[in-house]
Structure 1
């Protein structure tokens, strides 16, 4: 009920089912956050589609068409993934590797009023 039939098939045929499930889940979660509607959007209503060159598209299952978002997934450590999703983005808009920044440096750069 969380995945489309396509995603379920991809998970079942994967060598590492846990990793495949985790990768799709983080991409879905990233898209929901980018749209800003959270779980008001049913998880099975859109598909995470991994294209060539690790370009990840989101497909609206009802309309059977690509939405205006693109995602990129990063491996942070052996068991950690980071997914980023943005509207009207192109693959080149994403950094090759995510930048690391400590909280204190972030707080100094944007101001304490944004960091609680």
Structure 2
């Protein structure tokens, strides 16, 4: 799997936005322009630019390529079933994962968090793992688990239709998962591409 990242803050400038939006296919340009907030328009444009780059690198024309969605609304390419991609964003950063099997990516800014979220929504063993960590490490541990779990939920195409406590992530080396969603095996990767952010990917083997 290949990971792409972009800081979309410069795209919030109207002149830059209007120039770069012309690089997108009409459908994606309209989607980016439809957002009310400037930051959301910039994130959508940034994700589109990353996808353009990845498509070109794979020998696919980003202008003529056609998309549809799975039953769970996950975007996919109609004529290129082996080109799998997933997009995520947090704050000003957008990321794109591309591979030849189903995959998911997630990015989260590391900021103070209430661990009652983990107690309520995570698998019991995951919450126990967090509480066993030194207090100074719990926030990072939370975001590691969160991004890994969300990347899996996206890889299987369900997103938050799959409850967070219906599968278990173990932060071993390599990272392990116990799940009954399907019979496939999955591999996880964590990235240190951006300071103060957790980035994770999940890819079907």
Root-mean-square deviation (Å): 1.7
> Does 2:121 correspond to 1:10?
no
User: How many Å apart are 1:50 and its aligned residue?
Assistant: 1.9
Pairs aligned (count) = 82
> Does 2:203 correspond to 1:86?
yes
Residues in 2 aligned to 1:46 and 1:33: alpha-carbon distance in whole angstroms: 13
TM-score calculated relative to the size of structure 2:
0.37
Structure 1 unaligned blocks of 5 or more: 89-116
**2:185 is paired with a residue of what secondary structure?**
strand
User: How many Å apart are 1:67 and its aligned residue?
Assistant: 5.5
Structure 2 unaligned blocks of 5 or more: 1-119
Find the counterpart in structure 2 of residue 68 from structure 1.
Answer: 185
Runs of 4 or more above 3 Å deviation? none
Residues in 2 aligned to 1:67 and 1:59: alpha-carbon distance in whole angstroms: 11
> Does 2:141 correspond to 1:20?
yes
Question: Greater Rg, structure 1 or structure 2?
Answer: 2
Find the counterpart in structure 1 of residue 151 from structure 2.
Answer: 30
TM-score calculated relative to the size of structure 1:
0.64
